[in-house]
A and B are shown apart, each in its own frame.
Chain A
Amino acid sequence: MRTYLVLIAAATLAAGCAKEVTSYGDARGIETVSNQFGSTDLQMIAEAMARSMQQSPAIVSGNLPIVTVQEVKNKTSEYIDTRAITDSIRSELQKGGKVRFAVDEVAMGQQVGEIKRQQSEYYARENAVEKGQMVGAQYRMEGNITSIVKQVRDTKDVYYKFNLQLWNIRNGLLEWSDEKEIRKTTTKG
């Protein structure tokens, strides 16, 4: 009995002393902690989509076309922040300097709020922005992400398909579309 108590005490002490180590990693490195949607998937999708869209005739031939970002529907069974994907795509395209972005639906409230604020009595009239000066987009970007998940005993296979489309707002034509597929398989044991 006494031996057990000593062992338990030693184990508790050892567990308490176990050092927690924190270190910085490569934010663009390959993350394989689990087979759920991760940072590598997000970065790969954003990079592939932005590079592909930059080559589309609508972007190449247009003189800095104006695009608005619409929703990317998450049709997978897991939670994915699709806004983070479209934000990354937008950043990459914006840095590439071939596209301009108009305020989107999500940011519209803030944009209108700021215009209204500037038109209040607290601001100088000559510098305040006027109503009716915003520029509408020529194209809208929307898409969806779907997944197929299969699990048999110790093997789990996840297939993601990200589809992005660029629609011409004026005539409703689909100007560009591309897909990125990702397959991840996890085997226990």
Chain B
Amino acid sequence: MKTTLTLAALASMALAAGCATKKGFEQPGFAFGCPIGDTKVSSMDDLVKAKTAMEGKRTTIQATEMRCTKAGDLMKIDANLNNDSSTVKRIAYKFRWIDREGMRAWEEETWKPLMLYNNSNLMINGVAPTPKAVDFRLILMSQE
């Protein structure tokens, strides 16, 4: 009886562990819905690091979360920007769209100015202009 209970407990633990290592219904080559290709992404931080770039004057504003989904055949991105400083920050951002071959899928977007209150988060979103865009980079620049 004791052996049966132990075996059942072990089996349920193994099952639970197996489920825990699976990333939900994530497709291979995707993390949090976002395309990652061959890049090793094991956490949200890894994803944000892989998908965010800074140009021009650097800003202390950080993307802290990023999720991607599909709106019809277009890629849709939600990114959370965090201002953990005690002052209002002004930045500009844009998305850069990349096609299957790693080339630009669309012309350079316009810089979009943004104001973030002190100690605050702001969700920005972007929609790919074309179904050819299968990857992206979020570009940030300080406006101060």
What is A's interface to B at a CB cutoff of 8 Å?
26, 28-30, 40, 43-44, 47, 50-52, 54-55, 60, 92, 95-97
In-complex Cβ contact of A55 among B71, B112, B130 (8 A) = B71
Q: Are A95 and B72 in contact (CB under 8 A)?
A: no
CA distance A60 to B70 in the complex (A): 12
CB of B87 within 8 A of chain A?
Answer: no
CA distance A95 to B112 in the complex (A): 21
Cβ of A92: which chain B residues have Cβ within 8 Å of it? 129
CA distance A43 to B108 in the complex (A): 12
The answer to whether A54 and B74 touch (CB under 8 A), given A30-B92, A96-B129, is yes
In-complex Cβ contact of A28 among B71, B109, B126, B143 (8 A) = B109
Cβ of A60: which chain B residues have Cβ within 8 Å of it? 72
CB of B110 within 8 A of chain A?
Answer: yes
Count contacts between A and B, CB distance < 8 Å. 39
A99 CB, nearest partner CB in chain B, Å: 12
Known: A30-B143, A60-B72, A97-B130. 12 other contacts (CB 8 A): A28-B110, A40-B113, A44-B110, A50-B129, A51-B127, A51-B129, A54-B127, A55-B71, A55-B74, A92-B129, A95-B106, A95-B129
- Tell me the nearest residue of chain B to A42, going by C-beta: B110
CA distance A11 to B79 in the complex (A): 55
CA distance A26 to B92 in the complex (A): 14
Query: B residues 90-130 with Cβ under 8 Å of A?
Result: 92, 106, 108-113, 126-127, 129-130
What is B's interface to A at a CB cutoff of 8 Å?
71-72, 74, 92, 106, 108-113, 126-127, 129-130, 143
The answer to whether A29 and B129 touch (CB under 8 A), given A54-B74, A55-B72, is no
CA distance A26 to B71 in the complex (A): 31
Q: Are A95 and B130 in contact (CB under 8 A)?
A: yes
In-complex Cβ contact of A30 among B108, B113, B129 (8 A) = B113
Cβ of B113: which chain A residues have Cβ within 8 Å of it? 30, 40
The answer to whether A28 and B72 touch (CB under 8 A), given A95-B129, A97-B130, is no
Closest CB pairs A-B (n = 8): A43-B110, A28-B110, A51-B127, A60-B72, A55-B71, A30-B111, A30-B113, A30-B92
CA distance A51 to B75 in the complex (A): 11
CA distance A62 to B93 in the complex (A): 32
Cβ of B127: which chain A residues have Cβ within 8 Å of it? 51-52, 54-55
CA distance A44 to B66 in the complex (A): 22
Q: Are A47 and B74 in contact (CB under 8 A)?
A: no
Cβ of A40: which chain B residues have Cβ within 8 Å of it? 110-111, 113
Cβ of B126: which chain A residues have Cβ within 8 Å of it? 51
- Tell me the nearest residue of chain B to A45, going by C-beta: B110
CA distance A41 to B112 in the complex (A): 9
Q: Which of B72, B106, B108, B126 has the most CB of A within 10 A?
A: B72
